[in-house]
């Protein structure tokens, strides 16, 4: 049955409209969770507020299990689902730079747009920075291209990498997440802060 647009069960002309609707849900949930506050987001890295950990991992696990069960029930063809390709060195290098941007700026791109939507001026400045950063990358691309393309493994899945089934992999992620949730709850008790 699914995915509906790639299989033309829903016409491709509806795809942008669907994107808009999904975006509304995405922005609404991020704001409800408190991701429109840089001080809440940064709390993750000092232990006083671990909402990032809880929402991020609960979200990833919910969607992961959803895909696995939808596939099991024959509701979705996983071979038609986009799996982002792995370029090992640029994924690590890009991730390190993004991590620095996170602790310095207090947002990531999605959360900054969500925060700007409710009037956070620091988020708007952060978005201006994203524009510049992407512009710098685009202009410097010829210099970075070799590193950008290095370590290509294609759209490899972590379950295949470890030689286990998707279900076992999801189970391991859930166990890891439960341990981290417990640590997060303990950290919030140890370093309590007023709510922002």
Q: Which of residues 8-37 bind another protein (CB under 8 A)?
A: 10, 15-34, 36-37
Residues 155-194, one symbol each (x = binds another protein by CB under 8 A, - = not), give: xxxxx-x----x--xx--x--------------x---x--
Stretch (H or E) spanning 86: strand 86-87
Q: Which is nearer to another protein, 119 or 163 (CB)?
A: 119
Residues 88-107, one symbol each (x = binds another protein by CB under 8 A, - = not), give: x-xxxxxxxxxxxxxxxxxx
Stretch (H or E) spanning 65: helix 51-72
Which structure tokens are listed for 65?
């299990």
What does the buried/exposed string (b/e) look like for 12-29 if buried means 16 or more CB atoms within 10 Å of the residue's CB?
eeeeeeeeeeeeeeebee
In the complex, minimum distance from the CB of residue 70 to another protein, in angstroms, rounded to a whole number: 7
Distance CA 100, CA 96 (A): 6
Positions 51 through 90 that interact with another protein (CB under 8 A): 51, 54-64, 66-67, 70, 75-76, 80-88, 90
């Amino acid at each position: 049955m699914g995915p509906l647009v790639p299989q033309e069960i829903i016409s491709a002309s509806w795809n942008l409209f669907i994107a808009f609707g999904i975006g509304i849900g995405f922005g609404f949930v991020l704001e409800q969770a408190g991701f429109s506050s840089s001080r809440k987001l940064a709390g993750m890295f000092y232990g006083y507020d671990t909402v990032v950990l809880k929402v991020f991992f609960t979200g990833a696990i919910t969607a992961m299990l959803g895909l696995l069960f939808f596939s099991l029930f024959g509701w979705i063809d996983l071979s038609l689902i986009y799996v982002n390709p792995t370029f090992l060195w640029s994924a690590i290098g890009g991730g390190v730079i993004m991590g620095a941007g996170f602790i310095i700026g207090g947002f990531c791109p999605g959360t900054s747009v969500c925060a700007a939507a409710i009037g956070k001026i620091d988020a708007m400045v952060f978005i201006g920075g994203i524009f510049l950063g992407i512009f710098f990358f685009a202009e410097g691309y010829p210099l970075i291209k070799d590193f950008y393309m290095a370590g290509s493994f294609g759209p490899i899945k972590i379950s295949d990498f470890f030689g286990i089934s998707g279900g076992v992999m999801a189970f391991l992620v859930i166990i890891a997440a439960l341990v981290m949730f417990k640590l997060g709850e303990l950290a919030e008790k140890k370093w309590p802060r007023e709510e922002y």
